[in-house]
Structure 1
Amino acid sequence: MATPVVTKTAWKLQEIVAHASNVSSLVLGKASGRLLATGGDDCRVNLWSINKPNCIMSLTGHTSPVESVRLNTPEELIVAGSQSGSIRVWDLEAAKILRTLMGHKANICSLDFHPYGEFVASGSQDTNIKLWDIRRKGCVFRYRGHSQAVRCLRFSPDGKWLASAADDHTVKLWDLTAGKMMSEFPGHTGPVNVVEFHPNEYLLASGSSDRTIRFWDLEKFQVVSCIEGEPGPVRSVLFNPDGCCLYSGCQDSLRVYGWEPERCFDVVLVNWGKVADLAICNDQLIGVAFSQSSVSSYVVDLTRVTRTGTVAPDPMQDSRPPAQQPPHPSAPLRRIYERPSATGSEPQRVKQNSESERRSPSSEDDRDERESRAEIQNAEDYNEIFQPKNSISRTPPRRSEPFPAPPEDDMATAKEAAKPSPATDVQFPVPKLEVLSRPPVVTSTPAPKAESPIIPATRNEPIGLKASDFLPAVKIPQQAELVDEDAMSQIRKGHDTMCVVLTSRHKNLDTVRAVWTTGDIKTSVDSAVAINDLSVVVDLLNIVNQKASLWKLDLCTTVLPQIEKLLQSKYESYVQTGCTSLKLILQRFLPLITDILAAPPTVGVDISREERLHKCRVCYKQLRSISGLVKSKSGLSGRHGSAFRELHLLMASLD
């Protein structure tokens, strides 16, 4: 009798070298599940067709590493944000740059396309969220409220709301038309990495580094349930297209969850490490992960995965008792999104309520767009996927075909990949409590012993010292490996570039130190300025700022122009050093400068007094130049805002 061929539930599709340097971000096209975009430290955005080895298109123009990428729903546009805060939008069908958007002051951490109007939302490490009209290059709204980097943005399916997740442990919901926050969802005890709207109902899911997934009711604005005990930080979640369950891409596994009540339907072991994005097409879930310059793709056959409380018959067994599962509700429990009738229409109220933050295109933007290119690397795959406008495709695209599953080599493994036995099919309902315990897990593969439910009880409690803090920590090998892997990944990222920068900086500081040893502070500062490296000036000022007696009037004439540059820097430490130095100068020398300039002229020639008067005039002119900059920044929020307001008060006598 012939042995039946058994296929795998999950398998690795391929691994490619996506960039010349480290991959820093990636995203899957959610409509097809077959288009992959990657961003790298080489400042490029590359496009790939899943399961094909060659790059389809390479997008250039960014001058710093690409930190975030996002495809729109029809997969015709792509937006990429860089480490410097710039955003570029490309038209993939026309193979050209569409827009360059400037305005953020730090890394772009998150992006999303509006589902209907031609808008893009961006979240940054500068804590701001901006809504852009990509037709006019304009910023429509700026949303303020987060206190740390905004890690994820998602528009609601009806296009009326925007959800944001940030390192400040909060999730916020914004009303796009009113331009204000509707609700804040506290509860996570770690940075929130991802948010996803339910495709139909008023429900929002959020995943955090505190190893929990929370579900939020968007009518009552309260928590519905909480999944605890994830193997590691939650980085990627995705609702099933019909909304029956939520998939969580965990470390080396896919978990399938329900939320009312909270429970785990299935666990599928997938050796994908830290999966970065998920997409679904043809009952297959595609997961992608990256490590250094490589990107790997994986497939999970969802027809072999339990997705609701009702378990499908097992093809490996002739008969089995029905599982005692709560029936899946036939009707949604809450309100359903009302989508616009015409997908091309945009919400009119957004246009009417737009703030006056738009800016006209500048020549610098035009130059950026001329220098940004879309280079087609593989014309055959490009024509198949994008089918350029005004052309007729002779053959239908093949991207919708399911990926064939490889035959199972080991029958023992096949049995492990099969559906759970009747004993493990029974779901144990978990009561909904405000403080929720880890839900029972029903696995489609036997869980390794390392995943036994030994979870520290203090994981989600407020940080504070307890008796257990003074005892040796219990070492869990799997968690230790995860931490080591995260640490090594961060160390490797940009290591070579940083070594070059630090070597150059060390050489410049040696030059300055050689002059410093002679005791001539003024000449040391002059040599640092002559090197034309602000990092060296900052290092030197940090030393001089510690001893006020080192400051002299002639030193101020050299330092003040550098302070003006520091106050305009995108680096927080540079701005802080500039504020400290300017405060010292104002407190120590401004009264002297104003008194000398106001004093009546003396009779006769006094060379030393003339020199001092000249220095005071130079300093006064420089301070007047800086005062406008300080005044413009005094309205900022946070620590820098208060520092600039203090400087503005100290400089009041200049007016």
Structure 2
Amino acid sequence: MAAPVATKAAWKLQEIVAHSSSVSAVVLGKSSGRLLATGGEDCRVNLWSVNKPNCVMSLTGHTTPVESVRFNASEDLIVAGSQSGSLRVWDMEAAKILRTLMGHKANVTSLDFHPYGEYIASGSMDTNIKLWDIRRKGCVFRYKGHSEAVRCLRFSPDGKWVASSADDSTIKLWDLAAGKMISEFTAHRGPVNIVEFHPNEYLLASGSSDRTIRFWDLEKFQMVSCIEGETSAVRSILFNLDGCCLYSSSQDSLHVYGWEPERCFDVVPVGWGKVADMAICNNQLIGVSFSLTITTSYVVDLNKVKKSGCAVQGPIQDKPSSQVPSLGSSIRRNYERPVTSCTKPQRVKQNSESERRSPSSEDDRDERESTAEIQNPEDYKEIFQPKSAISRTPPRNSEPFPAPLEDEPVIAKESVKPSPSTDIATPLPNRGNPDQLQRPPVLTSTPIKAEPTVIPATRNEPIGLKAADFLPAVKNQNQVEVVDEEAMSQIHKGHDTMCVVLTSRYKNLDTVRAVWSTGDIKTSVDSAVAINDLSVVVDLLNIINQKASLWKLDMCTSVLPQIEKLLLSKYESYVQTGCSSLKMILQRFLPLITESLAAPPSVGVDISREERLMKCKMCYKQLRALSSMVKNKAGQSGRHGSAFRELHLLMAGLE
């Protein structure tokens, strides 16, 4: 009987020229492991069938390089975020653009689809996280809390939470229904590049540039264990489908980890460099990496990988076997996934600006100009031709990728470059009933109005700055978006003027800084007032307001007249600074002022007391002048109204 032929445990599958310029984003379809999407600096998103050389579809519409890409769970929708902060969603079955979503102020660095509903979470270098309803083009929530770029977003398997990680070394867990942060993990010492939920248990894994992988219990909200055996920044991790272990795509190898206790089950040499994404299909792990215009895919045969048992020798020492839980036993609660239904979802109430746009808005024009060009009709039909209205997308090729023999050299397949912009007339399949997709119960009703206990999400606010915010008001109110080229042209017209303004402000601030360096705060304030530039006064007050001990009574006499100007300003930031400074003065000096004025006249000569009394009289007069303005503004609604009401209560002592 012939001996079985030995095959490789890991091998290079394919190498393709994915774009005409550098590749900037790569993602695999997690359900099938057979779909690959690449984003490039050529502003395109190209779709590939893994191990096939031809581009299946090329998606256009973005005007700046694509920074992030993500498939939905059923792999019939794809979203891409760009450097300009815009998102575009394409329907791959219908081969057309579905939505254009505008709102982020900077690069869109992370994306994820809700597992059950037509919602997308996006994170950006502007530090904001936005939740979008792609049916109605609306921003449902904005979550604020990170101080640096958001690098990864993941919805929980039950669709109730979203986890975010950022360059600020933190991981935050957000409750979608309550609209607030419910926990924050801060143990990492470097940017957190990736987070992944355990497929069943209340467990979260995170990988960081500090070369560690950490596991977090989502019931007790505490760290379970930490793996420190990585030799480089951790950028891609993935739980096994049954949750028995975690895979980490280390530099040129695959590590297999357990977490209770932390240990390394196996190390498989792969030679794949820096892996951007991983997926599992047919007990094979697919990993993709990219460099310049090239995208390369690799396969690891998980049948030859140790996922449990004794740990391999390495930097992570195995714990005594008595501490290792039995395989398959769950020590934590499992997610309760919603029951699928085909009922029509309730309409979500929307108040965002994007919902009020007319059908002829710039977003709709962007959608008309965006295209989904079918490059390979045969592969397109094979992948996206639905079998029935219930099963919209059939399973991809279920055969595992064949492994080469141990001594057989691997020849990577060359790709066929996508044509620049060739439209191929192809009969498109009829789409199934979109109402048959499951919607999350937590999002199909009006969100709970709960008082946030940690960091609140800002709801129904303008969805970030747009180019139009920097331009003069237009007569046509329907025109709320401006295309990038037109906006840049108009902004450039005022460039020289802005340079003069900023240069002047810099000189003024430098003058104040020179006085500040002597340690004389009062003279610094007087110099800022003398310059007669309110922006310089605001900059200085924002510094002084952070330290109450810097405030002295004689400084109040200089600042109070400026506060009146700030409270009357049309700029929100000026009003906010004025309120903060006035609150500081009232809290620290109002008791002193009222007591000094109420005290009986002194006997004899006390120069210091007389000087203090004169300053108190000046401050009292200025505060009385401000009290009527504060009282009038206390009736306003919103954040400023609340601030003025607080000031009005503090000023009651003036009576």
Give the TM bin, normalised by the shorter chain. Answer: 0.5 to 0.7
Aligned twin of 1:377: 375
1:408 is matched with which residue?
A: 406
How much does 1:376 deviate? 0.3
Q: Could you tell me which of 599, 621, 631 is aligned with 2:572?
A: 631
Displacement of 1:401: 1.1
SS in 2 for 1:247: strand
What does the per-residue CA deviation read over 1:435-464, in whole Å, with 9 as the maximum and x for residues that have no partner?
A: xxxxxxxxxxxxxxxxxxxxxxxxxxxxxx
Q: CA RMSD in A?
A: 3.8
Deviation at 1:633, TM superposition (A): 9.1
Q: 1:384-395 to 2 correspondence within 5 Å?
A: 384-387=382-385
Q: Work out the percentage of aligned pairs sharing the same amino acid.
A: 69
Indicate the larger mover: 106-115 or 395-404: 395-404
Residue 351 of structure 1: how far off its partner (Å): 4.2
* CA distance in structure 1 between the partners assigned to 2:342 and 2:509 by the alignment: 67
1:333 and 2:331 correspond: yes
Q: Which residue of 2 aligns with 1:586?
A: 533
Between the aligned partners of 2:137 and 2:19, the Cα distance in structure 1 is 29
**After superposition, where does 1:544-559 map in structure 2 within 5 Å?**
544-547=504-507
Q: 1:123, 1:151 within 8 Å by CA — same for their partners in 2?
A: yes
Using the alignment, how far apart are the partners of 1:332 and 1:90 within structure 2? 39
Q: Within 2, Cα distance between the matches of 1:216 and 1:201?
A: 11
C-alpha distance in 2, partners of 1:11/1:80? 29
- 1:33 lines up with 2:13 in the alignment: no
Q: Deviations over 1:83-119 (max 9, x none)?
A: 0000111101001111111111111010000000110
1:107-133 CA distances to partner (integer Å, 9 max, x unpaired)? 101000000011000001111111101
Output the amino acid matched with 1:280. Answer: I
- Per the alignment, residue 106 of structure 1 pairs with 106
User: Residues of 2 paired with 1:533 and 1:273: CA distance?
Assistant: 46
Q: Within 2, Cα distance between the matches of 1:365 and 1:26?
A: 26
Shift of 1:399: 2.0
Distance (whole Å) between structure 2 residues aligned to residue 126 and residue 112 of structure 1 = 17
Q: Distance in 1 between matches of 2:16 and 2:341?
A: 36
Partner amino acid, structure 1, of 2:213: I
Classify the secondary structure of the residue corresponding to 2:356.
Answer: coil
C-alpha contact (below 8 Å) 2:32/2:395 kept by paired residues: no
Letter paired with 2:143: Y
Counterpart contact for 1:96–1:373, Cα < 8 Å: yes
- 2:5 is paired with a residue of what secondary structure? coil
- CA change 1:184–1:33 in 2 (3 A) is same
1:68–1:110 Cα contact (<8 Å) kept: yes
Q: Does 1:52 align with 2:52?
A: yes
Asked whether the 8 Å contact 1:61–1:373 carries over to 2, the reply is yes
2:85, 2:42 → 1: CA distance? 16
Residues 629-648 of structure 1 show CA distances to partners (whole Å, capped at 9, x for unaligned) of x3389779xxxxxxxxxxxx
Counterparts of 2:135 and 2:490, CA distance in 1? 44
Instruction: Indicate the SS of the match to 2:533.
Output: helix
Counterpart in the other structure of 1:425: none
Instruction: Determine the C-alpha separation between the residues in 2 that align with 1:19 and 1:634.
Output: 49
Distance in 1, matches of 2:343 and 2:155, equals 16
- CA-CA distance at 1:330 after TM superposition: 3.3
- Measured against aligned partners, the alpha-carbon deviations of 1:193-238 in whole angstroms (never above 9, x if no partner) come to 0000000000000110000011000000000000013110000000
Look up the match of 1:361.
357
**Separation in structure 2 between the aligned mates of residue 632 and residue 96 of structure 1, nearest angstrom:** 43
CA distance in 2, matches of 1:635, 1:385: 56
Closer, same or farther: CA 178–232 of 1 in aligned 2, 3 Å = same
Q: Secondary structure at the match of 1:369?
A: helix
Taking a change above 3 Å as real, the CA distance of residues 535 and 46 of structure 1, as seen in their structure-2 partners, is farther
SS at match of 1:367: helix
SS at structure 2 position matched to 1:89: strand
Cα contact 2:280–2:286 (8 A) shared by 1: yes
User: Which amino acid in structure 2 is aligned with residue 341 of structure 1?
Assistant: V
User: Is contact 2:225-2:262 (8 Å) kept?
Assistant: yes
Supply the distance in 2 between the matched residues of 1:387 and 1:539 (Cα, whole angstroms): 56
The residue type equivalent to 2:572 in the other structure is K
Partner-residue secondary structure (3-state), 1:382: helix
Q: Tell me the secondary structure at the aligned position of residue 359 of structure 1.
A: helix
Q: Quick one: distance in 2 between partners of 1:271 and 1:109? A: 27
| Secondary structure of 2:380's aligned partner | helix
Counterparts of 2:510 and 2:213, CA distance in 1? 55
Whichever residue aligns with residue 281 of structure 2, its letter is C
Change (3 A) 1:266 1:325: farther
Amino acid at match of 1:160: K
Shift of 1:152: 0.3
Note the 1:83-98 alignment, pairs <5 A.
83-98=83-98
CA deviation vs aligned residue, 1:256-309 (integer Å, no higher than 9, x gap): 000000100000111110000000000000000000111000000000000112
The residue identity in structure 1 corresponding to 2:188 is H
Shift of 1:531: 11
Q: Tell whether the 8 Å contact from 1:196 to 1:206 is kept in structure 2 after alignment.
A: yes
Distance (whole Å) between structure 1 residues aligned to residue 492 and residue 354 of structure 2: 34
Q: Distance in 2 between matches of 1:589 and 1:153?
A: 39
> Any conservation in 2 of the 1:192–1:208 contact (CA below 8 Å)?
yes
Residues 327 and 159 of structure 1, relative CA distance in 2, 3 Å threshold: closer
Amino acid at match of 2:335: Y
Contact map agreement 1:309 1:326 (CA 8 A) in 2: no
Work out the CA distance in 2 between the residues paired with 1:15 and 1:74. Answer: 26
1:56-67 correspondence runs (5 A): 56-67=56-67
Task: Answer with 336-345 or 272-281: which moved more.
Answer: 336-345
Query: Which whole-Å CA distance do the structure 1 matches of 2:295 and 2:79 have between them?
Result: 20
Structure 2: gaps spanning 5 or more residues:
313-320, 410-488, 512-527, 538-564, 578-625, 634-655
Contact 1:116 1:343 in 2 (8 A): no
Task: Check conservation: 2:509, 2:536, Cα contact below 8 A.
Answer: no
1:328 aligned partner, one-letter code: S
Separation in 1, partners of 2:536, 2:156: 56
Is the alpha carbon distance of 1:51 and 1:537 closer, same or farther for their aligned partners in structure 2, counting shifts above 3 Å? farther
**Offset from partner CA, 1:470-516 (integer Å, 9 cap, x none):** xxxxxxxxxxxxxxxxxxxxxxxxxxxxxxxxxxxxxxxxxxxxxxx
Q: The residue matched to 2:364 in structure 1 has which SS?
A: helix
Evaluate the alpha carbon distance shift between residue 531 and residue 118 of structure 1 in structure 2; reply closer, same or farther with a 3 A threshold: closer
Q: Please list, as runs of the form range in 1=range in 2, the aligned pairs for 1:173-184 lying within 5 A after superposition.
A: 173-184=173-184
SS at match of 2:382: helix
Distance 1:398 1:151, change over 3 A: closer
User: Taking structure 1 as reference, are residues 634 and 382 closer, same or farther at Cα in structure 2, changes over 3 Å only?
Assistant: farther
Identify the residue that residue 166 of structure 1 maps to in structure 2: 166
Give 1:631's aligned amino acid. E
- Structure 1 Cα separation of the partners of residues 261 and 226 of structure 2: 9
How does the TM-score come out when normalised to structure 1?
Answer: 0.62
- Deviation per CA, 1:559-586: give whole Å up to 9, x if none: xxxxxxxxxxxxxxxxxxxxxx9x9773
Asked if the contact 2:260/2:325 (under 8 Å) is kept, the reply is: no
**Count of aligned pairs:** 446
Q: Distance in 2 between matches of 1:172 and 1:280?
A: 27
Q: CA deviation at 1:390?
A: 6.6
Give the aligned residue type for 1:290.
F
Higher relative contact order (CA 8 A, sep 6+): 2
For the 8 Å contact 1:255–1:264, the answer to whether it is kept is yes
